[in-house]
Structure 1
């Protein structure tokens, strides 16, 4: 599907068009992106569906701005891109990533992440696979629709690629877990008879567990420092002997630094979310 183009390049084009947007009036004057064109040329768009519509005070001007998210679809009904519009004017487009296939439906939420009383726009795109992958894009309307976070690929493979994680059975229902990219190491403790009342059979199943970490499937917002600036936490499942078998969770925390959200910590948790081991990610 050669019509896909990298997210960053399309966002750059869209953000250039929206760079002067600081008020609702400016948004109304911005030029819309042509329906079927992008940096890569003509796109095979067969249909367009509105997947979200709402009105809100985005700029602190009392007047409410109508925002809408559209999915441009191929003839196969697969989304090619999503376009965000304010008061009928397209601000920017988000392309379907090459390696992360999202369904057309997306969720849009408004939340004051920066603590200034004005909302940021959070766009969640959901994967169509069994892993429940969910991407997140965060924009700040009051600052020209500046992107604060672009988690395009929720698999978070990092520099170690598919070999990023390692799991080994220690015995007694304990599994050693390692993230080779962040150097996070911890022990996952489970009932030794988790997989069979016959302990020998259960432990045989433990020894077959491989390093299987699902993509990010959810996000949490919190204010750990109590300063009104929210952190974003991405949650991934660590899988046991089969996909429904969640044995632990990985939580990656993002903080707002110098106008963008960056990774600052990773925590290995048990299946209920209780922390087991954490590591800071300086400059990651």
Structure 2
């Protein structure tokens, strides 16, 4: 799938393939022309992806080929055992989690999971968890704490499920309880936004010692489309809404709402998933080593102080 701003790159890559095909069929030496065109494509890619608008970053974050939570878990871990159910209502397929090993170390992985096709999307509810999903996540976090295992969460959701039945079962209470409990977890907690990070649906598993964002992701109280529909009564102003929301990783880091940005391969995580896995694994291991050196009580206080400082304004 090509996004609109990728069309010029695709056009040049198409010409490159035609040129190579012509050379193989006619035995004509076009090596210099091929080299020049490859350099032009490389330069255009760098310029394009270095100057993406906020809306274009949103589009990349939603690319259907991007790795999802279970893809990252499979790429990062060995011996992963998925755990199910909130022990109260049901097993929410939009929220997944379980123990896995990363470089011989047992870690609790939790995250929202989207689907690749229509059937999977329906089963996963498009990555929008119900209250039981957040209660399952909390149950797994408490289990990790009990056994002294660190927690890594992957955030990728357009929001918590907004249906009437979700509200009746206590959607707001479930998310609020997660926020409270995550502040007090005694084990290291790393939260990584791998795609969309919308509203309380994202925040419900995003209170951690380290909150990171992949380069082409977004994190905001509301999606650009929803913001546009509220302010302009139409989705046609989603690009302007994205600019106003300042929802990219760079924006979040500038406002000290996250702790860092994890670089993606040129063109997005989906272009070189293996490279993205290696980069992410290296970053996770590095953060776990750093957090191991901090006493649990100090980690909790640092966590509380970090989030308490967000949004504080001092007037002279």
TM-score by length of 1: 0.26
TM-score by length of 2: 0.24
Q: Which has the higher helix share?
A: 2
Higher RCO (C-alpha under 8 Å, 6+ residues apart): 2
Q: Which has the higher strand share?
A: 1
